[in-house]
Amino acid sequence: MPATMRDAFIESTGRMLENNPDAVVVLADISNGNFRDAGLVDKYPGRIINCGIREQLMVGVAAGLAKEGFRPVVHSYTPFLLERPYEQIKIDFAHLGLGGIFVSIGGSFDTASSGRTHQAPGDVGLMKLLPDFEIHVPGHADEAAVLLDSAAAEDGRVYVRLSADANAESRLVEPGKFHVERAGSSGAPAVIAVGPMLDRVLEATADLDVTVLYATTVMPFDSWTLRDTGATEIVLVEPYLLGTSASEVSGALHDRPHRLLSLGVRNMELRHYGTAEDHIQAHGLDADGLRENITGFISLA
Amino acid sequence: MARTQKTDYSYQDLEGLMTLMTGDEKHSFSATSTLDVVWTLYDSILNIDPENPEAPERDRFMLSKGHGPMAYYAVLAAKGFLSVDELREWGTFDSRLGYHPDGELIPAVEIGTGSLGHGLGISVGMSMGLRIRMQDKPRVFCLMGDAELDEGSNFEAIAMAGRQGLENLTVIVIDNNSSSLGWPEGIAKRFETEGWSSTTIDGRDHEDIKTALTQSHPGVPHVVVAKVEAK
């Protein structure tokens, strides 16, 4: 079993390279050493391409390879994978109708001590703006393996968001489906915990009558599982910019009067370093902060 | 849509074909600057079958400089890749032909361009893909403008292509002196520094163009700087 989501990524990519002769990896230095240490650079010569610190090129090269029938895996830290070459992703992949797997590391609060330049809490929001991207947010290394293997078996566009922040135990996740972690009474409020937020949500709501849904795929959004709860009070807890999937919640419940509370990373320049826990607390996403917000929201009903 | 069967258009017909497309006159300099190179490519250089423009063994042509594609469309129509009738409808809702090309709409067009600085990165990826597959016949041609070179993304790609020794890649830079800050020591030097071979030619001389585009450049990518009248 992989120890971290990053380990799961290297292992899953190794399986993909072994099983699919059209699989290629395109990098901009980040993780090149990990692939080398895993023996994959030597085992698959020419199929792990390091562009150096050239992220626009990384995406362009991956698109060119996709045009030639390859299945590219494109990878870097979140801001360098998505934000810097965003137009390349938009034009070279989405506009050209090409498939590829974009895998980030350093999501959520992993890079707290590195500062704002290494953080990209708007990542899922950005990728939502492009058509036909599946977006996976695993909460555990084993789940990352499942979701990455699933992406490898497809031919579309997929974004897989990896983080060091993780839940203690993995769940049996199914790509595209929410997992019903805990069922409340009929019509009880539903709390949607995305990826690594699950453990903190469970701690915060341990004695509350709520249904807890666990989301590891947020695009497409599993509207049916949410609707099936019968809930009209929804709390969305995301490890990135708060409210990123709020429009999907509204869309899922368009014919049902409902209230929504969005909790996540606030859109602000925090200007503090420190640890992941420091940042989780600063955004009110630790168990105490979540409990305070969730109970306050429910009590308004 | 019915396609014309006439494929015996000559270079002299291109101006008339271009006049069928009206409404984007602000890019007429951009269009006419490429005309002779694009014509020579499709007339003498590229191995592309209008009946099967996506054949794996085809040469790949990327119009990275997607502005002013009137010349490109005119040549494609003259060579049977498009219906001449389509040219009259360009820019309209139901037309496949817009002011910037869309590779998803037209099988003969490899990529959608218009935002500058995208074609070369994709071309490098395609060249590498062909090499991985050990396909040594298809060549990759990427047409750019001298002002398009202002985009920094190109220099990421120029460096990579040089280090990789992509001998199946040829870039043509149409130089109509429209780069705002210019190129001290010339455009070719920027490529040569990264290990490319280069040729600078008269971009209106079809024999010069043909010679430059068939020049052998073993082990390295090649750039052809095609000078035309200043914008």
Token readout for A40 is 């994959």
Residues with Cβ within 8 Å of residue A96, at least 6 apart in sequence: A63, A67, B103, B104, B111, B112
Helix, strand, coil percentages for chain A (3-state, nearest 5) = 40, 20, 40
Residues of chain B with pLDDT under 70: 1-7
Interface contact B121-A56, CB threshold 8 A: yes
The number of beta carbons lying within 10 Å of the beta carbon of residue B56 is 12
- Which of A65, A70, A98 should one mutate to test binding to chain B, selecting the residue with the greatest count of B CBs within 10 A? A65
CB burial string A113-135: b at 16+ within 10 A, e below: eeeeeebbbbbbbbbbebeebbb
Residue A24: name the closest of A36, A40, A8 by CA: A40
Q: What is the pTM of this model?
A: 0.96
Which chain B residues have a beta carbon less than 8 Å from that of A91? 112-113, 115, 118
Type and span of the H or E element at B175: strand B169-175
Question: What are the structural domains, with CATH classification, of chain A?
Answer: 5-161 (3.40.50.970), 178-299 (3.40.50.920)
Interface contact A67-B159, CB threshold 8 A: no
Distances (CA, A) of B68 to B46, B60, B76, B115, B143: 21, 20, 14, 12, 13
HSE-up (13 A, CA, CB side) for residue A229: 32
> Is CATH 3.40.50.970 correct for B27-65+116-227?
yes
Report the residue of chain A nearest B158, measured CA to CA. A57
How close B115 gets to chain A, by Cα (Å)? 8
What whole-number distance in Å separates Cα of residue B210 and Cα of residue B199?
12
Q: Which residues pair with B198 in a beta bridge?
A: B223
Q: For A65, which of B104, B128, B159 is closest by C-beta distance?
A: B128
pLDDT on residue B3: 45
ipTM of the complex: 0.95
Interface contact A96-B111, CB threshold 8 A: yes
- Decide if A60 touches B, using CB distance below 8 A: yes
Question: Taking a C-beta distance cutoff of 8 angstroms, is the pair A26, A70 a contact?
Answer: no
Distances (CA, A) of A191 to A178, A225, A265, B17: 12, 12, 17, 62
E-assigned strands of A69-220?
A: 71-77, 100-105, 133-136, 157-161, 178-182, 190-194, 211-215, 217-219
Interface contact A70-B122, CB threshold 8 A: no
Residue A289's SS3 state is helix
Residues in chain B: 231
Type and span of the H or E element at A49: strand A48-50
Token readout for A238 is 């995301």
Type and span of the H or E element at B174: strand B169-175
Instruction: Give A152's DSSP letter.
Output: H
Rg (CA), chain A: 19
pLDDT on residue A137: 98
**Residues above pLDDT 70, as percent of chain A:** 100
Which chain A residues have a beta carbon less than 8 Å from that of B111? 67, 92, 96
A67: left (phi over 0), alpha (psi -120 to 50) or beta: alpha
Q: Given the DSSP bridges, would you call strands A211-215 and A133-136 parallel, antiparallel or unpaired?
A: unpaired
pLDDT on residue B51: 95
Strands across the sheet containing A190-194: A178-182, A211-215, A190-194, A233-241, A259-265
HSE-up (13 A, CA, CB side) for residue A44: 22
pLDDT on residue B6: 58
pLDDT in tens, chain A (301 residues): 889 999 999 999 999 999 999 999 999 999 999 999 999 999 999 999 999 999 999 999 999 999 999 999 999 999 999 999 999 999 999 999 999 999 999 988 898 999 989 999 999 999 999 999 999 999 999 999 999 999 999 999 999 999 999 999 999 999 999 999 999 999 999 999 999 999 999 999 999 999 999 999 999 999 999 999 999 999 999 999 999 999 999 999 999 999 999 999 999 999 999 999 999 999 999 999 999 999 999 987 6
pLDDT on residue B31: 83
Residue A120: name the closest of A81, A156, A176, A148 by CA: A81
What whole-number distance in Å separates Cα of residue A114 and Cα of residue A276?
11
What whole-number distance in Å separates Cα of residue B172 and Cα of residue B212?
10
pLDDT on residue B7: 61
Residue A274's SS3 state is coil
Residue A34: name the closest of A5, A1, A70 by CA: A5
Residues with Cβ within 8 Å of residue B151, at least 6 apart in sequence: B116, B117
Residues with Cβ within 8 Å of residue B172, at least 6 apart in sequence: B37, B141, B142, B143, B144, B213, B223, B224, B226
What is the widest separation between alpha-carbon atoms in chain A?
61
Q: At what angle do helices A55-67 and B153-164 cross, to 10 degrees?
A: 60
Interface residues of chain B, partner chain A, Cβ below 8 Å: 102-104, 110-113, 115, 117-118, 120-133, 152-153, 156-157, 159-160
